[in-house]
């Protein structure tokens, strides 16, 4: 499935729907107050600030906020869980890159808190893993775990379908302006040992209950299983699938026409 609403809307300026980087989809304006939710070390936060907006990076991990603050001393960062953060003033936009799929406890609560942080008409713009994200990597993990007689690995992500996330946004008081669900195969430059490194880096929690002497043979099997789909002559490629959206907080008291 791959669909989008490319209708021009002033809330999103001139940006064409397809392929624009998230920052262009957000289209920050000088003086706007914007939150970067799940900001990590602040890569997107910096880009937003460079467009002249007043930006606050929020992240649940204290070490991420410490690193973001150290790297970007002029910007504001704070520790907060996206499921229950509050703000003392309304914001013009909330942006989020590669973070919403880690917020698994209650996606509706995240959307509700974003809604509460925005002024009516405020924008919520994000990119996250969508349904089918890393399907080959995950299948290789599941098979390897089974082969080694282990229970199903408990995966730490939420990869919604476009229909599911659209329903959550609409039920949460947003009007969707754009929603794209697209394959984005990506070179795994950060994972020289391929799928095994990917598990070590992005899913270490799944290894917590694996007997220590089983970890390496298990990950070697993950590599064997994933290699036919994901290893190229030039290196490993992750089978990423991304969901990108731009939504607007509905005006207060708005009702749906019959």
Ligand X SMILES: C[S@@+](CC[C@H](N)C(=O)[O-])C[C@H]1O[C@@H](n2cnc3c(N)ncnc32)[C@H](O)[C@@H]1O
Decide if residue 157 touches ligand X (CB under 6 A): no
Q: Which is nearer to ligand X, 52 or 156 (CB)?
A: 156
Q: Does 103 bind ligand X (CB under 6 A)?
A: yes
# chain residues binding ligand X, by CB under 6 A:
17
With a CB cutoff of 8 Å and minimum separation 6, the contacts of 164 are 131
- By CB under 6 A, the residues from 20 to 59 that bind ligand X are 38-40, 43-44, 59
Site string for ligand X, 62-101 (x = CB under 6 A): --x----------------xxx-------------xxx--
What is the nearest approach in angstroms of ligand X to the Cβ of residue 151? 24
Q: Taking the complex as a whole, how short is the minimal distance between the CB of residue 210 and ligand X, in angstroms?
A: 23
- Angle between helix 135-147 and 194-202 (nearest 10): 90
CB-nearer residue toward ligand X: 83 or 119 = 83
Per DSSP, which regions of the chain are E strands? 33-37, 54-59, 76-79, 91-97, 118-129, 174-183, 186-187, 231-232, 235-238, 241-249
Residue 45: φ, ψ to 5°: -55, -45
Quick one: which of 58, 35, 59 has its CA closest to 48? 35
| 203, 156 contact by CB (below 8 A) | yes
Binding region for ligand X (CB under 6 A): 38-40, 43-44, 59-61, 64, 81-83, 97-99, 102-103
């Amino acid at each position: 499935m791959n669909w989008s609403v490319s209708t021009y809307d002033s809330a999103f300026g001139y940006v064409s729907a397809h392929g624009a980087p998230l920052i262009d989809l957000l289209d920050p304006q000088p003086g706007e107050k914007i939150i970067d939710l799940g900001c990590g070390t602040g890569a997107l936060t910096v880009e937003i600030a460079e467009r002249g907006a007043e930006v606050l990076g929020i992240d649940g991990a204290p070490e991420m906020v410490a690193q973001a603050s150290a790297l970007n001393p002029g910007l504001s960062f704070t520790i907060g869980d996206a499921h229950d953060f509050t703000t003392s003033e309304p914001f013009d936009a909330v942006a989020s890159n590669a973070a919403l799929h880690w917020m698994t406890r209650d996606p509706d609560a995240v959307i509700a808190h974003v809604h509460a942080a925005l002024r009516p008409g405020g924008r919520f713009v994000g990119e996250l893993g969508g349904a089918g994200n890393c399907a080959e990597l995950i299948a290789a993990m599941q098979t390897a775990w089974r082969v080694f007689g282990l229970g199903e690995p408990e995966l730490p992500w939420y990869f919604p379908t476009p229909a599911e996330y659209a329903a959550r946004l609409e039920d949460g008081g947003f009007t969707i302006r754009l929603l794209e669900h697209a394959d984005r195969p990506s070179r795994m430059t950060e994972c020289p040992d391929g799928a095994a490194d990917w598990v070590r880096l992005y899913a270490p929690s799944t290894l917590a209950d694996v007997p220590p002497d089983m970890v390496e043979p298990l990950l070697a099997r993950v590599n064997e299983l994933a290699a036919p789909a994901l290893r190229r002559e030039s290196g490993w490629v992750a089978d990423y699938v991304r969901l990108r959206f731009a939504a607007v907080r509905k005006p207060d008291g708005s009702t749906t026409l019959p």
